[in-house]
Structure 1
């Protein structure tokens, strides 16, 4: 896996100068990336692409090749694999589709046999490629660029990777690695986890899974890894129609949802139900751990504070009454019409100083483990000041802070301030509460693992 994800040299077999084609898009991304290793282009039908020399086969390359990315028609892949084996290539990523996902099991088995005999590790086939932001390597065919961050995304679906990249760029969410497994003819989720747990750039692992083949191995690996790094899982094919769709998509057998869900949770990984929840959880797991389940909510709109309280309660979080002394402190500077209960309603006139003082007060409470500040655009106060207050106070304490900012164009800058200040921000009561619950669940799991001495 290290030679695949951190290669010193790469050969793109099926390189093209036509960026509207998969081979061309991959070639463009690789050459335009910040990767400082050697990149070789292979195509028997031309001698130059984008002004770069092109080799007729991987065997013609004069230097050693760590990784080969294959973008040729499926029937030609075994021949290319044999050439890669003779070249002593150590890792291969097969972009080409047309294998087990469309019933060509024998063709895929042939690729597996060649790789096994040569000791080559294979990602794919039927995938979008890989990305390693730490070394600037982009071997995908997407037009979107990955921002650098601490979350690794492991996915069976290439389209999920493409869509995630585009969405994440808009949301300013960074990633350390993208590993698209495709049909998983060799490298699977367990292999990816074992690599990522040792990767210093990766702090959180998000996974999209369609089928589980070696379940015992996967869940044992999850258990080992989750003691050191949080894992968030989204499993597709959890209904009968969805399972059939997964089979036609990547040739995967979905497996029993109940068994898989139970095994994932018992391993210490977090189970999510949709894409939004998957990445919301990933965003918060880089925060300070939650020491308990007690949540304080402050808002400039009482109704949304109440709805958020409802969601917290549904998810097993507590929104306790505040100590009498704290209530007295809040009443001393909040407006008489404000509510100093928990949730705290600071009214629609709450601005920078109000958010700052309330947050400062709450951060000092031992009875509060996590804080959710809420801002709703009401036309009276811009969201910038409250956002700055949240960022400034968040840097002072060790309690996790998860923000909920509601609005449209008027909150864009405030949301940007929060994100760039390291505060996760969400757009609804359900999203922020689910993210808070995910953080609490993993914090509790890790605390138990530390107590048992199973964390190194």
Structure 2
């Protein structure tokens, strides 16, 4: 039973005294209240009292200075370990007090904590930090050099479930240490996970706890006990970021992405002007809604009646696209608010990214005042193909499909457009987010979640303004549709570049990595991966199990494909004897069954056909990776067509499994790869990595969504 009264009383006392940290005895009170196991201890006010306490709890003991002004006790010479007798306890008390006064003559000293000394077991660290974007996070790592030097630590959003806490124990590099090595006992995983859960609940219940460290925690086969607790508080909590409700977000985003009428503020008849490009894209892209050009002097632009202000437009407007200099945006945005326009697409740059945060703050206030949602500023605009809407100054785009992509960077947006066009990847949307003064990734997730035209959401970002809100939405959306994120700033150099680009502060990348995993987001490691996942993951059927089999005509490809499976968390099936024998019927004696199944390079089309058919027919196999080697006997297009035929033959019988292919050979393999892709088989020339990465991404999503 949690005793929240004790916790509240302690925190109120600390606040009243103007302190930023709890003493160790106060920390113990909080731990006791939440059922976090800590050693026996007592506070001594004299050398004699220290000796008496130590004798009562049994030697050896640890002695530590207790002072709200001395947080780093060891540094102050305020810790003595392994005290064995009453005489040592008395001497230790005097020494600790003397050291503390020498360290900080003005320190308020409460006394010396005498604590039962713990020995044996595996030392681990359990704690919590408050991140500027994600809020409360709980952390777990192995003690000593593993956490200090190797940074072997993992994070999760607080609070966590028991299952999530158990996953943390397996997420550190040295996870095997917990399972018992060199004859040692494994730790009690349930007890450790329970302590993580309780810490996460404590910090979640009390936002003023900004940091909490249990270090070390001694984990044994019998349980877990925290030897030391450090708690830092911050009573100056910043106001939570304004977030509309989910219904409000959906309503506003539908108005913006599916407008019945659009105004172009700064529309122009002059070639080379952004306002001219936006008008042409709306017209030439095939948008069927109303288009209202807004210009202070023109009567007509590109055949459309022009208006001096949006307030002069007789009908309703859903979205206003801004193509005017930054300094004029606040005035025009105010008029949009007075007109009751729900959305503004702010193409202009010259705001926070250009050293003008006050100007950006001003438009945010205007948007909030009039309930106008802002996309941008500093963006290329957006495309929404189901409505033939090209609300952008970039080239028009009309290849419709099910992938929705967004980018924080305009340059990355251009790459998305170019790849999508080149690969004939159908998209439902391409959206620029820029400075994210208002609309950000979680608004887009909320919209695309209920958008029947979208099957996968792929996002590039340099930061998350509200990581907590993103994670909460992504956790829900990823159960229905794959969410892929390319988080830039993985390295210190990348983070520095990101911070100078759009005012982003790229946080600890390990936090992003772990939270993405926690909420089911697939993380792309490169721009190419983001694009290939967006293209390939929706093509693949959802696997029904973990068993992957490689069928290859080249032994070298089989080795590289096997490595790629390990790298991408895929499980190569251990081939049963009967299935092994079945494959051997179709391959030459010098080939190799097992997994990979190596049919060798000189085999005719029939060998590929028979082995692939067997792989699809056997229920124990859940997905196939094909490795093709260009030969005269089975040319590339012959291979591509036979694979497609077998796939369609099996589909007619109700058998559908993910198939990806790697093609090695002369340039003809490019055409063959494209043919396979058009027939539902993600295929790549000259690469053994990309096809397996795409399959791995599908598996990550299926696992996170609970479909396996």
Q: Say yes or no: does 1:315 pair with 2:574.
A: no
Please name the residue that 2:317 is paired with: 65
Give runs of aligned pairs for residues 22-421 of structure 1, distance below 5 A. 22-143=274-395, 145-286=397-538, 287-350=540-603, 352-378=605-631, 380-395=633-648, 396=651, 397-407=655-665, 409-421=667-679
**C-alpha distance in structure 1 between counterparts of 2:545 and 2:559, whole Å:** 21
Question: Shift of the alpha carbon at 1:249?
Answer: 2.0
Please name the residue that 2:694 is paired with: 435
3-state SS, counterpart of residue 676 of structure 2: helix
The 1:173–1:224 alpha-carbon spacing in structure 2 relative to 1, beyond 3 Å, is same
Question: Shift of the alpha carbon at 1:45?
Answer: 4.0
Question: Shift of the alpha carbon at 1:186?
Answer: 0.8
Question: Shift of the alpha carbon at 1:82?
Answer: 1.5
3-state SS, counterpart of residue 344 of structure 2: strand
3-state SS, counterpart of residue 402 of structure 1: strand
Does the aligned pair in 2 maintain the 1:301–1:347 contact within 8 Å?
yes
Does the aligned pair in 1 maintain the 2:674–2:683 contact within 8 Å?
no
Does the aligned pair in 2 maintain the 1:144–1:166 contact within 8 Å?
no
**C-alpha distance in structure 2 between counterparts of 1:105 and 1:351, whole Å:** 66
Question: Shift of the alpha carbon at 1:99?
Answer: 0.2
Question: Shift of the alpha carbon at 1:271?
Answer: 1.5
- My pick for the range that moved more, 368-377 or 343-352, is 343-352
Residue segments in structure 1 that go unaligned for 5+ positions in a row: 451-456
3-state SS, counterpart of residue 484 of structure 2: strand
- My pick for the range that moved more, 392-401 or 7-16, is 392-401
1:287-332 CA-to-partner distances (Å, cap 9, x unmatched) read: 2222333211122222112211122123332323433333443333
Does the aligned pair in 2 maintain the 1:122–1:186 contact within 8 Å?
yes
TM-score by length of 1: 0.93
Higher CA-based Rg: 2
3-state SS, counterpart of residue 624 of structure 2: strand
**C-alpha distance in structure 1 between counterparts of 2:269 and 2:641, whole Å:** 47
Question: Shift of the alpha carbon at 1:232?
Answer: 0.8
3-state SS, counterpart of residue 386 of structure 2: coil
- My pick for the range that moved more, 386-395 or 302-311, is 386-395
Please name the residue that 1:454 is paired with: none
Q: Say yes or no: does 1:5 pair with 2:254.
A: no
The 1:405–1:22 alpha-carbon spacing in structure 2 relative to 1, beyond 3 Å, is farther
- My pick for the range that moved more, 18-27 or 224-233, is 18-27
- My pick for the range that moved more, 48-57 or 135-144, is 48-57
3-state SS, counterpart of residue 422 of structure 1: coil
Runs of 4+ in 1 over 6 A off after TM superposition: none
Please name the residue that 1:426 is paired with: 684
The 1:117–1:342 alpha-carbon spacing in structure 2 relative to 1, beyond 3 Å, is same
3-state SS, counterpart of residue 160 of structure 1: helix
- My pick for the range that moved more, 12-21 or 85-94, is 12-21
Larger relative contact order (Cα-Cα within 8 Å, sequence gap ≥ 6): 1
CA RMSD between the two structures? 2.0
1:130-173 CA-to-partner distances (Å, cap 9, x unmatched) read: 11111111112222625211111122112211111111211121
Residue segments in structure 2 that go unaligned for 5+ positions in a row: 1-252
Residue-pair matches, total? 449
TM-score by length of 2: 0.61
**C-alpha distance in structure 2 between counterparts of 1:435 and 1:48, whole Å:** 50
Does the aligned pair in 2 maintain the 1:418–1:425 contact within 8 Å?
yes
